[in-house]
Amino acid sequence: MLQFRRLGVDDAGEALTLQRAAFVSEAALYETVRIPPLIDTIDDLRRELAATITTGAFLDSRLVGSARLTLELPTGWISRVAVAPDQQGRGFGSALLREVERTAPATVRRFQLAAANRSANNIGLYGHLGYVEFGRGPDAVGIEMVFMVKPRVPGVLLISGSLRTRSVNSAVLRTLADVAGLVGLTASIFDATTELPYFDPDCDDDHLPRSVAALRRAIGAANALVFSTPEYAGALPGAFKNLLDWTVGGMEMADKPVGWVNVSNNPGRAAATYSSLETVLGYVNADVVPGACVAIPLSHTAVGPDSMIAEAPVRTELTKVCVALRARIDDRALVEWRAGQR
């Protein structure tokens, strides 16, 4: 299973070995070894690792891919995309680029990269991932580069408090994911609640259980979150509360825009449940967005064969939730950008 982490200066030696091996084929296209990735020194790489966000892809403990992100806000420049020659053709390059995009700071509003004009495979890969050409020009050694750009689409993480197969809470979140694109958002559902171990403060350290680390990465990478949970015995369902407990020890949700959708047919009875949720969100310093917190009473009969809600009024209300979140995401990105200009 491919895993990712940010590379630091201590990884310079391994990263340089990978980079040189990966770019040999590109040097062959131009019949020269005098291309920038092959003439970088270990000191060059240490400086770059210190000044940029470089993501490493690991297969077991082996570094098999890396990509560099340089912030020129609101642009994020992706460069030195490298995959080990014996691991190419397995989708690792696509996975690596998606990880770079997913974990980039919220202030990045578009991604740009460049590919050598003879690198048809690379240009094809970038095109497949949504990048489009916007210009051409020579690099430092005179090789013509194709410059490509892709707009950043903010992502929302959706978390259901229900484990039922035909859950109304999960259905309303699937429906929200379906309408999110109307306001320029993407949305994904966290579906690994049952994989989380029972919360144990002694395990909330630098060696988190793998499923907990995945949860925190997903929260950290999202621009916003939306919850929908049933009321059970007057409180939050146990598995959902366990998930929330695992978020308290991290900082991933701090200042993150958050909303919720209460689908109870008796919103008043569920009020205590959502009050408990808001208490937890206060502990993690989440940014609860009032316009993204709504009550939409629904019955199980509203769930269609596609496990979503087809009713137009419901979809309209969910679109309003997305609008409120998008506005808060944009506001926060502007504040962060202005702070970075000082």
Q: Give tens-digit pLDDT for 259-302.
A: 999 999 886 778 899 999 999 999 999 999 999 999 999 999 99
Residue 184 or 195, more confident: 195
Let me know: does 237 contact 229? Beta carbons within 8 Å. yes
Residue found under tokens 């490509």: 148
- Residue 34, pLDDT score: 84
d(CA 223, CA 326): 9
- Residue ranges of domains in the chain: 2-151, 155-341
- Backbone phi and psi for residue 306, each to the nearest 5 degrees, phi listed first: -90, 10
CATH tag for 155-341 (out of 3.40.50.300, 3.40.50.360, 3.30.1360.10, 3.20.20.140): 3.40.50.360
pLDDT for residue 342 is more than 70: no
User: pLDDT category, 33, cuts 50, 70, 90?
Assistant: confident
Residue 338: per-residue pLDDT:
67
Asked if omega into 74 is within 30° of 0 (cis), the reply is yes
Cβ atoms of 261 and 225 within 8 Å: the answer is no
- pLDDT per position as a tens digit, 147-156: 999 988 888 9
Q: How far apart are the first and last CA of the chain?
A: 41
Crossing angle of the two packed helices 120-128 and 92-103, in degrees rounded to 10: 50
Q: What is the mean pLDDT of the chain?
A: 92
293 beta partners: 260
Q: What percent of the chain has pLDDT over 70?
A: 98
pLDDT at 289: 98
CATH number of the domain located at residue range(s) 2-151 in this protein:
3.40.630.30
pLDDT value, residue 135: 93
Give residue 1's pLDDT: 81
Could you tell me the CA-to-CA distances from 124 to 133, 202, 233 in Å, in that order? 11, 48, 54
